[in-house]
């Protein structure tokens, strides 16, 4: 039989068998697999979208990937010379003496992680600067040359012992980039050495290994160095549960190549329980902000077989696993996402004053979106120069852990009636659903308040299948849809306004194949109405929303207060009266000029604190007439764009820094407000003068002003004029800059008639 005919016959036979099995599945009602499950599955050129979809539902996590998913909430620890230099990326040529660690408390790290509900920690054993935190045989650029314990200290060893004490899994970040090996005269990175057969580990006199395993690889100097250090980490500090690689490179040299397949061989042999991040094990979510996709499929397409690939590109698209994406690939591979971000602004500790820390709301919101969105939450906690987690970080982590336990440690479906396979809290049992749009109904033992619902597919056995689902609650003698979402995967957390109900109904609306559920649970998150904030755009439209934390590093675009308080309502007043449930309900932005706004959030009849703001006259008709000078990207029209994150800044000059505005019409002015920028301390106006003009040419001095303590407290300052005046044109002149600066900066100017 010709080869093409044989292939067509084989394909026809396989499809026929699948059809028979599908009929069998429908008849028996228990069969959910019609082909062998695999971690990676090849697509054939004649695969249709339907056969691709079927294959995708039989791609499952490896044992290590599944364990990584079950870890759910894990810690990153960035620690090294950058902690002491206050840099994010070091140069590689730092004197090891800069790592002036006097004390180290890894027990405190692990206790805090445990309190937060974290199950694993990954430490930067070697960051891009090449400085190592353990007693390596193969370099002197590390703790062995630092003041810590007179060069005898070993950060990794102490952390390993603390992890065992607190039952925290350990992982290591070993940066492929290495600036020390690039920059120093005898460096191995990119030194153009020959690839020859070498034994790993290389023997070092007086430092034998207890583990006698050896490997033979065809490598150059740097890959040998890297493999030797991997051997140390995986044999003397384990067991290791994750090895973390990234693609960040401050600098390259000599077209240095990495032999990851050799790295993988040594990891597989020496750390059989370790998942490898950045390669085929787990993948980056695509941002460092804690942003999550609404739909996070963990079955993703590859052009090459990931089991044999050496280089892996970041997967950063919004759509990573739709059927269209899968059909365009040649291999389907199960690869969970890690949602990584830092609790502080930056990866390394700098200080406890200017470096802001995420709020508990923010961290808990990321937790629910990431762990409850089919990914792993990796949160960085950088130790300070005392070798401990700082107090702010500790408080947020403790509060986050308390919320997780109080919310998800109590299953409100205890004693409920429904499919026992879903309610028995047994990961070994599962429920195979039948029908085009199957339904699961659960009867609660009593009327219960809920606002969270957790559902899991049996991905370990049956892969990811559900593409869309909804949850209904029995309210006022009828079903009410309270939440809807797309895929489920390992875990989906549905968040919705509080309902009191006796029955719940989970509807599977779309599925790639027969759905198989493993677990469901209901929960209640106790929150109180959040603080509110006001914003007014350049069109004069006012919005009111839960206050967003002042965390400027890698913003994720989410409003944690709104996410955690589904069902909250906001009421406001414009006449100075205290707002209540009888006041105007905020539903969309509205036009508002000068005056005082007050607002309050009410959730389940509980009132939050009253927020208030005094807006100046509308800036819709304002125009910039002239200014003394501008710096690039800081135009003068930014000082009246109603955006506090933008600002005008003049060039560096000693005298006569000013801005002139046309207010659009002649108005009476009684006071003004100056808001300095918060992203820079340069240019804050300490003293100044206000001039008025009817024609923009002839000026009258109206008043001088003085603002103090701006650098330490860069908040809006008000100045009431000695007497009100009428004008169309206004000139602000800077006379003295805080901190003896020589440029002027304004985030916003406001003028008031009342």
Number of structural domains, the chain? 4
737 in the same domain as 652: yes
CA separation for the pair 664, 481 (Å, rounded):
51
**To which H or E segment does residue 506 belong?**
strand 492-511
Banded pLDDT at 654 (limits 50, 70, 90): low
pLDDT over 70 for what percent of the chain?
96
Give yes or no for a contact between 378 and 371, defined as CB atoms under 8 angstroms apart. no
Mean pLDDT over each residue of the chain, to the nearest integer = 93
Mean pLDDT of 270-274: 98
590/662 same-domain check: no
Mean pLDDT of 180-191: 96
The pLDDT of residue 27 is above 60: no
pLDDT at residue number 197:
98
Query: Residues 613, 616, 618, 622: is their CA dihedral positive or negative?
Result: negative
Q: Which of 407, 431, 463 is the C-terminal boundary of a domain?
A: 407
237 and 117 inside one domain: yes
- 312 inside domain: no
277 and 145, same structural domain?
Answer: yes
Q: Are residues 597 and 636 in the same domain?
A: no
Q: Both 381 and 488 in a single domain?
A: no
Provide the pLDDT for residue 20: 38
Note whether 386 and 480 are same-domain residues: no
Tell me whether residue 39 is in a domain: no
CATH code of the domain covering residue 104: 3.20.20.80
Q: Quick one: 640 and 744 in the same domain?
A: yes
Q: How confident is residue 8, by pLDDT bands cut at 50, 70 and 90?
A: very low
Instruction: Confirm whether 716 is domain-assigned.
Output: yes
Is the pLDDT at 28 greater than 90? The verdict is: no
- For 244-260, the pLDDT digits (tens) are 999 888 999 999 999 99
In a domain, 119, yes or no: yes
C-alpha distances (whole Å) from 587 to each of 268, 561, 571, 603 are 56, 16, 9, 15
Residues 484, 396, single domain; the answer is no
Please report whether residue 588 resides in a domain: yes
Q: Is the same domain home to 134 and 170? A: yes
Q: What is the pLDDT of residues 548-567, one digit of tens each?
A: 988 888 889 999 999 999 99
Across the range 398-421, mean pLDDT stands at: 97
User: What does the pLDDT look like over 435-461, one tens digit per residue?
Assistant: 999 999 999 999 999 999 999 999 999
In a domain, 633, yes or no: yes
In a domain, 331, yes or no: no
pLDDT at residue number 31: 64
Of 187-196, 350-359, 462-471, 724-733, the poorest mean pLDDT is in 350-359
Q: Check: CB of residue 539 under 8 Å from CB of residue 618.
A: no
Query: What are the E-state strand segments in 20-78?
Result: 40-42, 73-77
Q: 388-409 b/e with 16+ CB inside 10 Å = b?
A: bbbebbbebbebbbbbbeebbe
Question: Which residues touch 79 (CB under 8 Å, ≥6 apart)?
Answer: 123, 124, 133, 155, 348, 382, 383
Evaluate whether 200 touches 214 at the Cβ level (below 8 Å).
yes
Could you tell me the CATH number of the domain that includes residue 573?
A: 2.60.40
Residue finishing a domain among 386, 407, 428: 407
Contact 702, 720 (CB under 8 A): no
Domain assignment of residue 475, given as a range: 420-523
Q: What average pLDDT does range 93-97 have in this prediction?
A: 97
Which residue has tokens 């820079």? 680
Report residue 504 CA to chain centroid gap. Answer: 32
Residue 427 binned pLDDT confidence (cut-offs 50, 70, 90): confident
Same domain, 343 and 490: no
Tell me the per-residue pLDDT of 208-241, one tens digit each, with 9 for 90 and over: 999 999 999 999 999 999 999 999 999 999 899 9
pLDDT tier at 754, thresholds 50, 70, 90 = confident
Cα gap 204→664, rounded to integer Å: 79
Assigned domain for 54 exists: no
CA dist 480 and 143 (Å) reads 61
Provide the residue count of the chain.
754
In this predicted structure, what is the pLDDT of residue 17? Answer: 39
Average pLDDT over residues 10-20: 41
| CA–CA gap between residue 137 and residue 239 (Å, rounded) | 20
State residue 488's pLDDT score. 98
Instruction: Choose one of 590, 615, 640: the last residue of a domain.
Output: 615
Residue range 87-95: average pLDDT? 93
| Residue 306 to residue 333: CA distance in whole angstroms | 8
State the Cα–Cα distance between residues 367 and 288, nearest whole angstrom. 14
Residue 711 confidence (pLDDT): 87
Per-residue pLDDT, averaged over 267-281, amounts to 98
Q: Are residues 516 and 584 in the same domain?
A: no
pLDDT digits 0-9 by tens, 670-701 = 999 999 998 888 899 999 999 999 999 999 99
Q: What is the CATH classification number for the domain harbouring 441?
A: 2.60.120.260
């Amino acid at each position: 039989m010709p080869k093409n005919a044989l292939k067509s016959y084989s394909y026809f036979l396989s499809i026929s068998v699948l059809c028979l099995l599908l009929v069998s599945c429908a008849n028996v009602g228990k069969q959910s697999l019609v082909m062998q499950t695999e971690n990676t599955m090849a697509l054939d050129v004649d695969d249709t979208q339907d056969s691709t979809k079927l294959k995708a539902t039989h791609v499952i996590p490896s044992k290590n990937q599944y364990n990584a998913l079950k870890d759910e909430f894990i810690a990153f620890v960035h620690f090294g010379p950058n902690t002491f230099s206050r840099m994010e990326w070091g140069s590689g040529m730092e004197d090891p003496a800069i790592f002036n660690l006097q004390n180290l408390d890894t027990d405190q790290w692990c206790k805090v992680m445990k309190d937060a509900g974290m199950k694993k920690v990954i430490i930067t054993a070697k960051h891009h600067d090449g400085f190592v935190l353990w007693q390596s045989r193969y370099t002197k650029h590390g703790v062995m040359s630092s003041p810590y314990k007179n060069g005898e200290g070993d950060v990794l060893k102490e952390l390993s012992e603390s992890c065992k004490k607190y039952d925290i899994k350990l992982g290591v970040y070993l940066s492929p980039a290495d600036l020390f090996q690039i920059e120093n005269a005898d460096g191995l990175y990119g030194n153009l050495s020959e690839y020859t057969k070498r034994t790993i580990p290389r023997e070092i006199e007086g430092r034998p290994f207890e583990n006698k395993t050896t490997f033979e690889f065809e490598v150059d100097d740097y890959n040998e160095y890297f493999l030797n250090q991997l051997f140390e980490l995986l044999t003397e500090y384990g067991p290791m549960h994750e090895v973390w690689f990234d693609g960040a490179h401050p600098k390259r040299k000599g077209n240095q190549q990495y032999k990851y397949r050799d790295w993988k061989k040594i990891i597989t042999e020496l750390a059989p329980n370790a998942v490898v991040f950045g390669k085929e094990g787990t993948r980056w979510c695509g941002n460092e902000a804690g942003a999550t996709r609404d739909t996070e499929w963990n079955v993703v397409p590859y052009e090459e077989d990931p089991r044999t690939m050496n280089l892996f590109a970041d997967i950063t698209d919004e759509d990573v696993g739709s059927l269209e994406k899968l059909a365009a690939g040649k291999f389907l591979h199960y690869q969970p996402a890690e949602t990584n971000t830092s609790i502080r602004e930056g990866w390394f500790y700098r200080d406890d004053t200017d470096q802001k820390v995420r709020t508990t709301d923010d961290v808990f919101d990321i937790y629910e979106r990431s762990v409850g969105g089919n990914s792993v939450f990796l949160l960085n906690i950088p130790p300070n120069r005392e070798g401990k987690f700082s107090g702010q970080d500790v408080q947020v982590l403790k509060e986050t852990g308390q919320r997780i336990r109080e919310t998800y440690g109590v299953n409100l479906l205890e004693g409920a009636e429904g499919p026992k396979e879903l309610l028995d809290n047994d990961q070994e049992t599962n429920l195979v659903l039948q029908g085009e749009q199957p339904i699961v109904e659960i009867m609660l033992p009593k009327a219960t308040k809920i606002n969270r619902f957790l559902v899991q597919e049996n991905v370990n056995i049956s892969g990811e299948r559900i593409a869309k689902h909804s949850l209904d609650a029995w309210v006022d003698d009828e079903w009410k849809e309270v939440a809807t979402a797309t895929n489920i995967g390992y875990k989906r957390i549905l968040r919705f306004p509080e309902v009191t109900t006796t029955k719940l109904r989970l509807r599977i609306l779309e599925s790639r194949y027969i759905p198989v559920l493993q677990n469901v649970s209901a929960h209640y998150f106790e929150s109180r109405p959040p603080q509110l904030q006001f914003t007014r755009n350049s069109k004069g439209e006012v919005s009111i929303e839960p206050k967003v934390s002042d965390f400027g590093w890698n913003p994720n675009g989410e409003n944690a207060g709104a996410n955690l308080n589904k069902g909250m309502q906001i009421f406001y007043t414009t006449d100075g009266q205290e707002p209540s449930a009888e006041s105007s309900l905020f539903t969309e932005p509205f036009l508002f000029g000068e005056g005082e706004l007050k607002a309050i959030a009410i959730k389940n009849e509980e009132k939050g604190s009253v927020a208030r703001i005094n807006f100046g006259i509308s800036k819709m008709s304002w125009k910039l007439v002239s200014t003394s000078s501008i710096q690039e990207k800081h135009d003068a029209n930014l000082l009246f764009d109603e955006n506090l994150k933008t600002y005008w800044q003049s060039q560096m000059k000693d005298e006569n820094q000013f801005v002139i505005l046309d207010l659009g019409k002649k108005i009476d002015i009684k006071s003004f407000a100056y808001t300095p920028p918060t992203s820079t301390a340069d240019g804050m106006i300490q003293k100044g003068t206000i001039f008025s003009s009817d024609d923009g040419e002839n000026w009258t001095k109206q008043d001088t002003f003085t603002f103090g303590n701006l650098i330490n407290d860069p908040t809006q300052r008000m100045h009431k004029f000695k007497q009100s005046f009428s004008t169309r044109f206004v000139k602000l002149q800077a006379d003295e800059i805080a901190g003896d600066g020589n440029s002027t900066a304004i985030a916003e100017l406001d003028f008031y008639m009342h």
